[in-house]
Structure 1
Amino acid sequence: MDPFEDEPSPVSIEYEPVSVKDVLVEMKDTAELLIDLSYSAVLHRNEDLAREVLRLERQMDVLEMRARMGLLMASRNPSDAEQLAPVLGIVAATGTISDAAGDIAKIVLEEMGLPEAMRAALPEAAGVLVRGVVDANSSYADRTLESIDLESETGVRVIALRRGEEWLLNPGPTTTVAPDDVAFLRGPDAAIEEVYETLTGTVYEVPAVETSDIEDLERAVDTIIHMKNLSELGIDLAYSSVLFDSEALAEEVRNLEVEVDAMQSRFEAWTLRAAADAPDPVSLRGLIRLGTSTEVISDAAIDLSEGVFRDIEVHPVVGMAVEESDEIITRIEVEPGSDLDGAGVDAGVPETEPTMSVIAIRRPEEGWLLIGDADAEINGGDVLIAKGTRTAAEAFGELSRGPE
């Protein structure tokens, strides 16, 4: 069976008045979901998930064209052109992310080959993400997410729904789960199987994996996992640097990109060494594609931040997108002797009063430390990347200052 035989022809697009702000927000959400789905498709060698990536990639193509049309219509003079040029760069970079995610999905659909060590390592990096079709007899059908209370009861979250060709990204409490919806679930191993069965009426089969005894291959896999995590952080920081016109965040995007480039070089070396010991070197072809696509995503983060690097005033259409949320990402330098110096971090939550979530720590001598479920201790000299409300961020920043 041809994995691409059910792909529809490109849809015809004509100009129609749209909110460029809304399109940009949807493109950002779509790009983040594309990255998530593509790596999960590789993890599970799941052709259904891979096809969903290609569906979403086609949706991104439509959004990209509509955004370009809207931006061209909005440009009336040289001042507009100057402000809108970086926004066009954001649109193009988001399209690049989409294409890279599609290339990752094709590793599965084209049966390029991927070592089992990759599948064994990715669960910790990507978490468990599954795709299921809502059964008409499911107890979840025709109910809102608020009434199901799935996340509170099980820890499993519905990250997206597809209803025919319509995508519902970031569904909220009032979103209704309808029969035949394609649901994308993320959650812990212990709960995902039961939720999947309740949702679809079928048993979830956990994919079996084997570990590798080739040391260089394990190093290559560990490196690509770290590259993936740093690239995702870079995309998050890049969007935030643009939305909040933050040169400090943009500089951290550049630091991340330099780190990923260095890791890409080591990854290639270890993969080539592993090929000499692998029983079937061709099985590493998918791993090479994964490394290349991951590095492309990292480079796209730099392109997203280009307007900030060039000190071009952010167009109001971008600022309007910020106003929809009070949550921000901030960069904080911890001064020695401050209240944060020596504070512990448990699953991203520091031992401080302001409610902030620490995403990552850049340590001068050690590089990047990504904070997920891991515990850590904040040291003087650390650069923290944290997420929370504007008010909490200001109070958190006060705690980072040392004694005068």
Structure 2
Amino acid sequence: MAVDDVEYEPVSVKAVLAEMKDTAELLIDLSYSAVLLGSDAVAEEVLELEERMDVLQLQARMSLLMAARNPEDAEALAPVLGVVGAAEKISDAAGDIAKVVLEDIGLPEAMRAALPEAVETIVRVGVDSESALAGRTLGETNLETETGVRVIAIRRAGDWLTNPDYTTTLDVGDVVLLRGTELGVAAVYEDLSGAEYEAPDAPDPTVEDLERAVDSVVLMKNMSELAVDLAYGSVLFDSDGIAEEVLELEAEVDALEDRFEAWILRAAADMEDPVRLRGLMHLASATEVISDAALEISEGVLRGLGAHPVIAEAVRESDEVIVRLQVADGSRLDGATLAEEMVKTETGMRVIAVRRAREPGTTRVGDWVVSPGPTTELHAGDVLVAKGTRDGSERLAGLAGVASTEP
């Protein structure tokens, strides 16, 4: 495979970091979707994006080396290099996951049966010339508000647009990546392509001995993705508390991998063809690398180096924003659960962590609740960290009774 030459050119480090963040998160989604769908086409897209990430990280490193003029600069820029390296690790791990599909390394059907609950539906669709959406901007189509489906990336004339916004036009011939519920995705797929969406059949789990090993990998995936989200939140808000949660999650993923290894060895003894387990082992290993990368993103905060302003600005300008807001007294969220106010449905935002205003019966600030569920009840003074679109963040601010989502 030919590799293009890369030469130094003046680039905005902020813009490169924002694109690296968006690309890394897209790669996680696409790589697991390739496994779920058993799709060589989606896996190939992962490898092409991985090549793009290689170029981005070289551009970022060269620009940062040019910017360091003294020891103080080196100390300030060290966390930025950590973020660059971490995004590259996520990219490499996603490439390894894609190769499980492309090289037919072997994966038990039980894995594909377990993944649908852990992977939001992602579909790749071309824009047909007869589509009523062709030639319109995402703002004009109002897709996300009306269907809950989000365009997460567009491939156009061989290049990727990983940060489409309301001004982005859907052109005939574009390859669009959609994410959302299966029902919503099916409708948008038909609108764009003119063809009916056919959902892949999820096989029933047939390898009973692998159930615990498969469950471990799925849990590792969920925790690693959460760790990446929280890691970017920690540098955006320069928060020791959030960074420490990343550290805890990374340790839990390591423990899960240890348990996974025990279960996979036991299962191999009962399988007729244990070689088919190689793909599952690759998945576990790559997923653990993603959690390690999350820790690297937040390491500057953990070690007291703080967060360089360019990282925070890059996170703010990236595709999915991370916001922090405090629940106001008397707001719709005060005393309500996430499900009661339909936070995700009404806003499209995913609350990834809640910092309690206080512990019950005390005046001490409470601990972080990581990955809160629909039954999590909120109270005035609680601090939410959520991820989603800018429009969604403003709607969430309205529910919380605050005027702005700016950190």
| Fold-level similarity (TM above 0.5) | yes
2:97 alignment partner AA: I
Partner of 1:78: 71
Partner of 1:386: 385
Contact 1:231 1:294 in 2 (8 A): yes
Note closer, same or farther for the CA distance 1:314–1:206 as it changes in structure 2 (3 Å cut).
closer
1:205 matches 2:198: yes
1:83 alignment partner AA: A
Contact 2:75 2:305 in 1 (8 A): yes
Partner of 1:62: 55
**1:9 offset after TM fit, Å?**
1.6
Structure 1: distance between partners of 2:350 and 2:36: 27
Contact 2:240 2:302 in 1 (8 A): yes
CA-atom RMSD in angstroms: 3.4
Structure 2: distance between partners of 1:140 and 1:201: 11
1:257 matches 2:258: no
Contact 1:21 1:321 in 2 (8 A): yes
Note closer, same or farther for the CA distance 1:227–1:181 as it changes in structure 2 (3 Å cut).
same
Partner of 1:370: 371
Q: Deviations over 1:235-266 (max 9, x none)?
A: 11111212221111110100111111111111
Partner of 1:302: 295
1:289 matches 2:282: yes
**1:308 offset after TM fit, Å?**
1.1
1:156 matches 2:149: yes
1:103 alignment partner AA: D
1:242 alignment partner AA: V
Aligned 1:5-404 pairs, distance under 5 A: 9-321=2-314, 324=317, 328-330=322-324, 343-346=336-339, 358-360=351-353, 370-371=371-372, 375-378=374-377, 386-387=385-386
**1:193 offset after TM fit, Å?**
2.7
Unaligned runs of 5+ in 2: 327-331, 360-367, 387-392, 403-407
1:89 alignment partner AA: G
Structure 1: distance between partners of 2:301 and 2:325: 15
Contact 1:348 1:357 in 2 (8 A): no
Q: How many residues align?
A: 376
Structure 1: distance between partners of 2:325 and 2:279: 35
Unaligned runs of 5+ in 1: 1-7, 333-338, 398-404
Partner of 1:400: none
Structure 2: distance between partners of 1:348 and 1:61: 42
Note closer, same or farther for the CA distance 1:9–1:268 as it changes in structure 2 (3 Å cut).
same
**1:219 offset after TM fit, Å?**
1.7
**1:229 offset after TM fit, Å?**
0.9
Structure 2: distance between partners of 1:362 and 1:267: 31
Structure 1: distance between partners of 2:258 and 2:315: 36
1:321 alignment partner AA: A
Structure with the largest fraction of strand: 1
1:298 alignment partner AA: S
TM-score normalised to structure 1 length: 0.83
**1:151 offset after TM fit, Å?**
2.3
Note closer, same or farther for the CA distance 1:348–1:217 as it changes in structure 2 (3 Å cut).
farther
**1:76 offset after TM fit, Å?**
1.2
Contact 1:343 1:350 in 2 (8 A): no
Contact 2:234 2:243 in 1 (8 A): yes
**1:28 offset after TM fit, Å?**
0.5
Contact 1:47 1:108 in 2 (8 A): yes
Partner of 2:405: none
**1:357 offset after TM fit, Å?**
5.3
Structure 2: distance between partners of 1:368 and 1:225: 21
Partner-residue secondary structure (3-state), 2:173: coil
**1:148 offset after TM fit, Å?**
2.1
1:370 alignment partner AA: S
Structure 2: distance between partners of 1:378 and 1:328: 21
| Structure with higher RCO (Cα < 8 A, 6+ apart) | 2
**1:212 offset after TM fit, Å?**
2.2
Contact 1:356 1:386 in 2 (8 A): no
2:229 alignment partner AA: D
Q: Which moved more, 1:76-85 or 1:32-41?
A: 76-85
Note closer, same or farther for the CA distance 1:151–1:317 as it changes in structure 2 (3 Å cut).
closer
Contact 1:244 1:322 in 2 (8 A): no
Q: Which moved more, 1:157-166 or 1:288-297?
A: 157-166
**1:146 offset after TM fit, Å?**
2.0
1:101 alignment partner AA: A
**1:121 offset after TM fit, Å?**
1.5
2:231 alignment partner AA: A
Contact 1:361 1:384 in 2 (8 A): yes
2:274 alignment partner AA: P
Note closer, same or farther for the CA distance 1:344–1:323 as it changes in structure 2 (3 Å cut).
closer
Contact 1:50 1:105 in 2 (8 A): yes
Structure 1: distance between partners of 2:192 and 2:48: 22
Structure 2: distance between partners of 1:273 and 1:385: 42
Contact 1:348 1:359 in 2 (8 A): no
Contact 1:159 1:186 in 2 (8 A): yes
1:377 alignment partner AA: T
**1:205 offset after TM fit, Å?**
2.9
Contact 2:230 2:352 in 1 (8 A): no
Partner-residue secondary structure (3-state), 1:177: coil
Contact 2:89 2:290 in 1 (8 A): yes
Partner-residue secondary structure (3-state), 1:196: helix
Percent of residue pairs bearing the same amino acid type: 57
Structure 2: distance between partners of 1:233 and 1:218: 23
Structure 2: distance between partners of 1:355 and 1:212: 31
Partner-residue secondary structure (3-state), 2:304: coil
